[in-house]
Amino acid sequence: MTIRNAPPEAVSPAPETPDRTEARLLEAAAGLVATRGTRGLSVTELARAAGVSRPTVYRRWESADDVLRALLAHRAQLVITAVGPRAADRATIVDKVVRFGDLLRADPVYGHLLTEEPEVFTRYAFERIGRSQRVILEWLAAAVVAAQQGGTVRAGSATDMAVMVLLISQSAVLSHRTVTTVIDDAALRAELAHSLDGYLRP
């Protein structure tokens, strides 16, 4: 659009692309959940926080629940990216999965859910395999296949193993605040690594 009273040489800003708009919406959704919880995430509040209209939100998601699912998948992908390149051997898989748990707990969105709304984390993590779990499972399964080819992970269905690794690590993440009253963080990480290594070992 034209900016009123702009000097002749001024150029109107280019319209936001769909990708940029969705990224902006997800960033705003993350801020709402991290500071106000899932109850503070509504289509109206999201539109206000992102500076867009409600139809802009509805063109992408049908409800606040859909927004939350997309947000969790997006944050999971960000954590995977932060963990680094895909693992290709058992030791690296174990190290990256343990690190993934650390980063997930440190993430503002997941950190809030784990601390303040663990029932929401449980619902989205365990009641059904959602988008965030599929993102993680695909990452894990690809790493398992690569490690199997190198001989450091036992034979078997990479998808099945990825599911079990996800269940073990999710349980450790969800229980972290409780169990660290009887086992310190370093020991918990070491025991988780030992469990994963033993499970994947040929």
pLDDT at 128: 65
Phi-psi region of 107 (alpha: psi -120 to 50; beta: other; left: phi over 0): beta
Q: What percentage of residues in the chain have a pLDDT greater than 90?
A: 76
**Higher-confidence position of 127 and 50:** 50
Residues whose CB is less than 8 angstroms from the CB of residue 6 and which lie 6 or more positions away in sequence, other chains included: 12
Band the pLDDT of 124: cuts 50, 70, 90: confident
Band of residue 15 on the pLDDT scale cut at 50, 70, 90 = very low
Per-residue model confidence (pLDDT) at position 126: 65
CB 72 within 8 A of CB 127: no
The count of C-alpha atoms lying within 13 angstroms of the C-alpha of 73, restricted to the half-sphere facing its C-beta, is: 16
d(CA 178, CA 121): 15
- Checking if the pLDDT of 82 tops 80, the result is yes
Q: What pLDDT score does 166 carry?
A: 93
* This prediction's pTM: 0.83
Mean pLDDT of 7-11: 38
- Written as six digits, the tokens of 38 are 């899932």
pLDDT for 107: 97
Instruction: Please state, rounded to an integer, the average pLDDT across all residues of the chain.
Output: 89
Predicted pLDDT of residue 16: 42
For 106-118, write each residue's pLDDT tens digit. Answer: 999 999 999 999 9
pLDDT reading at 164 higher than 90: yes
Q: What is the pLDDT of residue 50?
A: 97
- What tokens were used for 78? 């960000």
